[in-house]
Amino acid sequence: MGTRKNLNGLPNSLEQRYFSTLFYWNGGYMADWIWNAANEKNVKDIEIDILNENVEPKVLQIKPIIGHLPQLRNTIQITLKSNDFPIDFISEAKFIIYISQKHIASRLLTCQCVVTDKEGRKYLGKIYTEKAFEDPYQVFPHSLFQRIKKIMWM
């Protein structure tokens, strides 16, 4: 088995990857999707479970937010393999995201990744601040007419 200190950078790698320009989804980056969806649903605290592809609160469990999580699981597996750990050594990997009312005008959110191994040790990422860059857009259609319009124009 590998040296645990080699896993200390894993949470930061996951955060940087998830919020990078590589993880663009149909009109927005991850910060844009999270920001717009959370503001529409008046949500300030979000938890994204990378391994199980779950989002809390469930109202934000939408394809743009979870669509790239399999790639992050792959990053975890590659990191484990290259550091001589078993593929199932990581038991939990989550993003803890917070949208502060203080930073509404700046459209900033903060994220910290927490990775836990099967022996219970936690690896904490740095608190990462991300800005939603794209112009605000509607994530959840609010009327039947808007849903039909969206389906017809896809």
Residue 23 has pLDDT above 90, yes or no: yes
Closest C-alpha among 121, 143, 116, 109 to residue 51: 116
Backbone angles phi, psi at 120, to 5 degrees: 95, 0
Closest C-alpha among 29, 41, 52 to residue 111: 29
The helix (H) or strand (E) run that includes residue 109 is strand 108-117
Helix 69-82 vs helix 10-18: crossing angle, to nearest 10:
150
Question: CA-CA distance, 32 to 62, in Å (whole number)?
Answer: 13
Overall residue count recorded for the chain in this entry: 154
**pLDDT tens digits for range 114-138:** 999 999 999 999 999 999 987 777 8
Other C-beta atoms closer than 10 Å to the C-beta of 16 total: 15
**pLDDT tens digits for range 48-83:** 999 999 999 999 999 999 999 999 999 999 999 999
Question: CA-CA distance, 74 to 136, in Å (whole number)?
Answer: 31
Predicted TM-score (pTM) of this structure: 0.87
**pLDDT tens digits for range 34-48:** 999 999 999 999 999
| Whether 86 contacts 80, CB under 8 Å | yes
